[in-house]
Structure 1
Amino acid sequence: MCTGKCARCTAGLLFPLGLCAIVANVLLFFPNGEVWRSEEITQHVWFFGGVVGGGVLVFLPALVMKAAGREEGCCANRCGMMVSMAMSVVGAAGALYCVVVSALGLRDGPLCDTGTGDFVYPFLNQSQGESYLSNQTLWTACVRPANVVLWNITLFSILLALGCVEALLCLVQVINGLLGCLCGTCIGKRQAGDA
């Protein structure tokens, strides 16, 4: 078992996931691919769940994991694995922040013009039985921006899924980092050398 390889593999997965989270968050600023004023954009977008939580706070542990899993100094890199373990906790917290913000964005629905010229949250405080998420006919309440409901549901769902996967990978690295810290980064090589 080589905890260093596992750390490099996990880092390799976290980089594209973090990039996708950033892109999804940025797209939420442009409902239906159009530019709107800041007060016409859903408030949950401004919490930067994908940029900060699913992006930056996941990139940091990924960089440390990549460095901790280097080939040279294989069995002596316990300190690097300990740092990667601590940074993975930060990454998991960031990913969970992304999950919470996305879940709130899905629950509250988009900010939109319902035909009165004012931008409001028409789906706010709905019970689960009458949720806009399960009743597509309610989506017509939003007149402008066009397709904003589908836009928000799609992108917040993507962010929710990405955050869950990132949190899981970071938690796996916490366990992997603990093993690497206690046993060294390449148990198999050390055992082969001892024989």
Structure 2
Amino acid sequence: MSCFPACTRDCSRFIGVSLYPFCVLSILCNIFLFFPGWSVEAINNPGEHMTPEVLYLGGFMGSGVLVLIAAIYNHCIGKPGKYSSRFMMFLSIIISALGVCGALYGLVVSALGLANGPRCLYLFISGRVQWTIPFKLPLEFLNLERSYLFNRKAWDRCVEPTGVVEFNVIFFSTILASSCIQIVLCSIQMLNGLFGCIFTPRLTKF
């Protein structure tokens, strides 16, 4: 069992480093979503022109900052030459659980963003145009047959911002995928931290 402290350290470092790119990716995607269609007009009037799920900051705070805290801590305790203890490994479980919660938040918000669709200047069949969330199905958003995601012809009715539907689908999907990977990595680290609590001596220098 003498190899367990070194193994848990290596695993912590690997998971910490692996989380970094997904945190950065989630933060960048959330920032990009503030500029739908690469337009800055939504920033000037976020209440009427911004997709609501963007303002929830699922990618920035959830899959970004909260998971980044877990990534930094696990990376640091896994560095060679650092002291490790059962308490530090126990703390790793708590902080990794925080990372799971953050990633779950990012996943839920991005899933809602995909299901509801963007806010845009929509051209109705009658010829009327209005800023609205045209694809939102409050009670039936899980009905894939009615989802706008599988009806690309309807996307063109979003007149402004240009290409906003594709824009939102790409970046919300990226945050969702990133969040799923983060949940898996942070969950593995929680198990790794548990093994560390069991097999790590009171204070060990690697």
SS at match of 1:89: helix
Stretch of structure 1 that moved more, 28-37 or 2-11: 28-37
Amino acid at match of 1:143: V
Residue ranges of structure 2 left out of the alignment (5+ in a row): none
Relative to the length of structure 2, the TM-score reads 0.85
Counterpart Cα distance in 2 of 1:131 and 1:177: 41
Amino acid at match of 1:71: P
Matched, 1:51 2:63: no
Would you say how many aligned residue pairs link Structure 1 and Structure 2? 186
Q: Which runs of 4+ in 1 moved over 4 A?
A: none
Aligned to 2:131: 119
Amino acid at match of 1:99: L
Counterpart Cα distance in 1 of 2:122 and 2:167: 16
Amino acid at match of 1:68: I
- 1:64 offset after TM fit, Å? 1.4
Matched, 1:63 2:72: yes
Match of 1:35 among 37, 40, 44: 40
- 1:73 offset after TM fit, Å? 5.5
Aligned to 2:96: 88
Stretch of structure 1 that moved more, 90-99 or 114-123: 114-123
Counterpart Cα distance in 2 of 1:70 and 1:24: 30
Relative to the length of structure 1, the TM-score reads 0.90
| % identical aligned pairs | 38
Match of 1:24 among 29, 35, 41: 29
Counterpart Cα distance in 2 of 1:73 and 1:139: 54
- Contact 1:67–1:80 (CA<8 Å) still a contact in 2? no
- 1:131 offset after TM fit, Å? 1.0
- Contact 1:123–1:131 (CA<8 Å) still a contact in 2? yes
Aligned to 1:133: 149
Which structure has more helix as a fraction of its residues? Answer: 1
Residue ranges of structure 1 left out of the alignment (5+ in a row): 191-195
Counterpart Cα distance in 1 of 2:176 and 2:134: 22
